[in-house]
Structure 1
Amino acid sequence: MPPDHPSQASRQQFETETDKRQVDDMAASHNSSPPASVYDMSDDEESDYNSVRRRSSASRGVKLLYAKSKVFVHPSPSSKDNIDGFMALYEQKSPSASSSAASSSTHIPSSSLILGWTPLASLQSQGQFDTYSKVDLDDKDQPTRNLVPPPPITQAHSASPGPYPFAVQASQIYSVQIRPPSAGWWFGSIVINTRSGDSFPALFFHDSECQSTINHRKKLARENFDPFGESGNLFWGGDQVLGWLKRHLNVERSPEPNIFL
């Protein structure tokens, strides 16, 4: 007849397997990515970036200051290849800045500002589309305070544009080339040139599809009785992006009229 109780060797084997399963479960829990809700919060709810860092060292967020939708990359002459996305300006916390200093000063150093573009598909897969859309439609002059996953910061970009996000620190931007929409070119565009001599893909603003641009034109028409910007041209999305930079950086027009340094 079999014994009433398992042998000591059987008990040890069972305990070893149980401990191994517990360790594997803990490792899986530790390595899992944080939910999108970790980032979708404001400074009113979280007093400092440290609150995000405590949850996971990989989940440190950046502030999404401004966003603009319907900014496309055109990889080919065919419109069916156009890649929809958001252009955005972010603020990352400076490693040397204290919490009190960051909260008491409105000045943001250029090394803490990030300008970038993210394809729509990436934001949807990360659960961040609603956050970017909310910031895009915010018509206040002050930057928003939403925390989002940091964009990939790069110093150079492939010559072939594609569905890949890119971002550059404002301190590494040498110039921004602006091409407003015109009778001969329907979409206005922006090209970011870096101090290392590289240029990122041209970003095209599909203003007729962008609700925030449409809303701003209506606002200008109500306040000034015309939908034109400061330059005298019809207001377009690139005007807003240039406005973001002027709020935080010393932006000057170069001798060439459509290039800003």
Structure 2
Amino acid sequence: MTRSVPAVPRLLAGIVAGAALAVPLRAARADPWIPAAGDGVVKPMVRLFHGNQAFPAGGFTTNALRGSSESSKQYRVTGVQGIGHDLSIEYDLRGGRVRSFADRHHIPTASVSSGLQDEEIGLNYGLIQTARFADSITLNVIVPAGRTKPSPALGTGRWSVEPDFQAGISRPWGSLTMVAGARMFLDGAATQLRATIDLSLHLTRRLALTGEVFAVKTIRQSGTIPPGAQGEIYNLVRPAVGLTWRLTKVIRPFLLYEVNVAGEGIHAGSRLELGVAVHY
């Protein structure tokens, strides 16, 4: 005789499965929600950049000039690890290969650098933590792991700290989050204001459209920084659009397309980012 599965366990299983799919596909960058101790997210990705124009160093502008180009392949791992007591550890680890081209006396010259880039780790403390709203404060330390010579530089060669404030709302339609802070070089070389706004809109229960705007403004810079060691010292506005797919409760592939639309002292160009978020 065939035994039937009781209705209550079937109902509970359906509720659990539905709840798993109902967890918001939140924006990819800022995330003020602190995971429980032992939980977290790790995001390995590859980023492909190419630009054949550059924003000049004389002022912030949308007009890029020809004369140099740059392409890069970056391998990046970001993540967050809950450690309890409303605290989490955040990290941003990078390495890759940068290739630049420039005309010197009408002779095309190529330069290549590869290896580690500057690495970032931070401690995040949750303030208000609810399902619909969260905010937190973070203290990040940027380790100068990337070399500055030969050009193109892979880092700044200087230690820096960046206190951030994060906040976000989560609704059935998606989420909106932001992170803003000041990056300060410990030797006084520069101070930057940096901010990111992320938007995630649910297209289906598994697919989300993501949007992002990143901006950085260098408000103070010392003239002692040698050429080739500038690294992250620039001004920039970079919007992006992408997709996130909930393959399973744990695995969520994503892609993002970014464009440098305005800046100073940095190449204009576009970048494609491909990765996967692993939730545990």
TM-score bracket, normalised by the shorter chain, equals under 0.3
Q: Say which structure, 1 or 2, has more relative contact order (CA 8 Å, 6+ apart).
A: 2
Tell me which protein shows more helix as a share of its residues. Answer: 1
Tell me which protein shows more strand as a share of its residues. Answer: 2
TM-score (norm 2): 0.23
Larger Rg: 1
TM-score (norm 1): 0.24
